[in-house]
Each structure stands twice: as structure tokens, then as C-alpha cells.
């Protein structure tokens, strides 16, 4: 297996032991604390294997704009894309399909493979048995977030701004930490450029189950971590244990709300 890093800055000492790095493209990615310009990406692509992540949903106008930006990028190994409209711009060989919460069964993976998309990111809301089934019944290159702050929701709405306006709250902020009542989970809500994302506060970690999952690529996302979290993760991501407030609930407990392989959309 190979390890890919989503770094929190262009500080190269972060990259020391990784097969490559995944860089969120400025203005076209969401849910990160640090974004990379075309110039930064091209400079880093001279020194290491660089992948680019574009995970915003795009309007027609933005699709036209991003084509010009992609034409400026150099030596990019592949692109992680969420909006399938980008498949009109990025070749099948360079596209890694990354659709949060959606790719969670082998039939979906095989369908994409039959269309020519042979690289995809598998949802980390699956049990170990479900992850193994996908591995056993597909021939695609499989990517998996080994360490991540899971994104629970992505909306093209200004959730924080609208909340403040509705309740006439004068505070100006683009980030809230809340505790939801149903499951008593700590959540992080961020508003960026007219869109909103909600994250689980706990860090998802599957480090103890790397050999069981055994996918082609493991992604380590430190982009939204603080300095102490980064230090601990970079020290121990290959080991079975990370000494942080982590969560692996999905790996051990099957959930019922995800789309099933035989369920019609």
C-alpha cells in the first residue's frame, strides 16, 4: 500500500515519508484550512508526486473557468474529483472519483470501472467486512481515508450566516463548534465562499486496521489538524495506535442509512 498526504501548508518537511501529496485547489475545493494556488502546486510538482483535489460542486460558469486553470497546472499525477461534470475536462486516466458517502459498494465501483474510471475513493463509513468485499470483488485502484476529520455535510447554502440573521445574532463568525443533542456529538461547522460544511470533531482513524483493509492507497489528511495533532499523526500513522481523540465506529458497526447496492435511486 502507498500513503498519500493532504498537508496543512506548503512546508515540505511534512512530505518526508509519503508516496505523494494531495493539494486542495484554491477556490475550487472546500473543507480545508489551507488551499494551494496554481503557482504553489506547480512548484511542488517539480519535487514530488502531486495530486490535486477539486471537491466543490461547480456551476456551468465555474466549469469553464476551471478548464483554464487545469491547463495551467503542470506534472499533475491525477485529480480527485467530486463533481462529475469535470469528467468532460479531465481524462479518465487522470480522474480519481471522490464522491463523499456515495461509493460504498462493489457494484458502484465496477460500474465506474466499466465506464473507464478505474480509480476511486471508497467511503470510510463502511465496516471492515464491507471494505474487504469491495477489495475482493473489484479490480479498480482503491483509495481510502486512513486518517481524516469526516465531512458529514456539504451545502451550497450559507448556513452560519442564515442562522445568525434568523436569530438576530450580531456575532460575525464563519466557524462554529456545537454539540448536537441526538447523539451528543461535537461538530464543527464552517462557512466558506457561500457554501457550508459540517465535520465530526473526533478524528476518524483506521490505523489499527490497515492490514485488514489493504487498499492500494491510504490518505492521511492533516490539513485541518492543529499542530499537536499533526505531530502525533505524522509520528504514528503507520502504527496501530494514534494517541488522540479518535473514532473508528463505522469500521465496527454497520449503519443502515447508506445506499445499498441493489437499491434503485
> Over the chain, what is the mean pLDDT?
92
**Do 79 and 21 belong together in one domain?**
yes
Identify the pLDDT of residue 60: 85
Identify the pLDDT of residue 158: 94
Instruction: Report pLDDT digits (tens) over 115-148.
Output: 999 999 999 889 999 999 999 999 999 999 999 9
**Do 81 and 183 belong together in one domain?**
no
Instruction: Report pLDDT digits (tens) over 215-262.
Output: 999 999 999 899 999 999 999 999 988 999 898 888 988 876 555 555
- Contact between 242 and 232 under an 8 Å Cβ cutoff? The reply is yes
Share of the chain above pLDDT 90, in %: 78
Contacts of 95 (CB under 8 A, 6+ apart): 78, 79, 81, 86, 87, 117, 119
- pLDDT band, very low/low/confident/very high, at 61 (cuts 50, 70, 90): confident
- Contact between 225 and 199 under an 8 Å Cβ cutoff? The reply is no
Domain carrying residue 14: 2-149+203-252
Q: Is residue 257 part of a domain?
A: no
**Do 15 and 33 belong together in one domain?**
yes
Q: Is residue 258 part of a domain?
A: no
How many structural domains does the chain have?
2
**Do 9 and 102 belong together in one domain?**
yes
Beta-carbon count within 10 A of 36 CB = 24
Report whether pLDDT(264) > 60.
Answer: no
**Do 196 and 87 belong together in one domain?**
no
Identify the pLDDT of residue 257: 59
Task: Give the domain CATH number at 219.
Answer: 3.20.20.70
Q: CA 208 to CA 210: how far, in whole Å?
A: 6
**Do 125 and 220 belong together in one domain?**
yes
Identify the pLDDT of residue 220: 97
Which candidate, 23, 22, 15, 9, places its Cα nearest to that of 47?
15
Q: Which of 160, 180, 200 is the last residue of a domain?
A: 200
Amino acid at each position: 500500500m502507498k500513503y498519500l498526504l493532504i498537508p496543512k501548508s506548503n512546508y515540505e518537511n511534512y512530505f518526508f515519508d509519503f508516496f505523494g501529496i494531495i493539494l486542495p485547489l484554491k477556490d475550487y475545493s472546500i473543507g480545508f484550512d489551507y488551499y494551494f494556488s496554481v503557482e504553489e502546486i506547480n512548484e511542488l510538482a517539480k519535487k514530488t508526486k502531486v495530486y490535486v483535489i477539486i471537491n466543490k460542486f461547480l456551476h456551468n460558469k465555474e466549469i469553464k473557468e476551471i478548464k483554464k486553470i487545469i491547463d495551467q497546472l503542470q506534472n499533475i499525477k491525477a485529480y480527485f474529483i467530486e463533481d462529475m461534470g469535470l469528467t468532460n475536462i479531465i481524462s479518465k486516466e487522470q480522474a480519481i472519483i471522490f464522491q463523499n458517502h456515495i461509493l460504498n459498494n462493489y457494484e458502484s465501483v465496477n460500474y465506474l470501472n466499466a465506464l473507464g474510471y478505474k480509480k476511486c475513493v471508497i467511503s470510510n463509513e463502511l465496516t471492515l467486512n464491507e471494505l474487504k468485499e469491495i477489495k475482493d470483488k473489484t479490480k479498480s485502484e482503491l483509495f481510502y481515508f486512513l486518517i481524516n476529520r469526516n465531512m458529514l455535510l456539504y451545502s451550497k447554502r450559507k448556513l452560519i450566516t442564515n442562522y445568525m440573521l434568523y436569530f438576530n445574532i450580531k456575532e460575525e463568525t464563519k466557524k462554529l463548534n456545537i454539540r448536537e443533542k441526538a447523539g451528543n456529538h461535537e461538530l464543527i461547522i464552517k462557512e466558506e465562499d457561500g457554501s457550508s460544511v459540517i465535520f465530526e470533531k473526533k478524528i476518524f482513524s483506521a490505523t489499527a486496521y490497515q492490514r485488514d483493509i489493504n487498499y492500494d492507497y491510504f490518505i492521511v489528511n492533516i490539513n485541518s489538524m492543529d499542530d499537536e495533532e499533526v505531530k502525533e499523526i505524522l509520528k504514528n500513522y503507520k502504527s496501530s495506535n494514534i494517541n488522540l481523540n479518535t473514532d473508528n465506529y463505522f469500521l465496527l458497526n454497520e449503519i443502515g442509512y447508506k445506499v445499498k447496492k441493489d437499491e434503485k435511486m
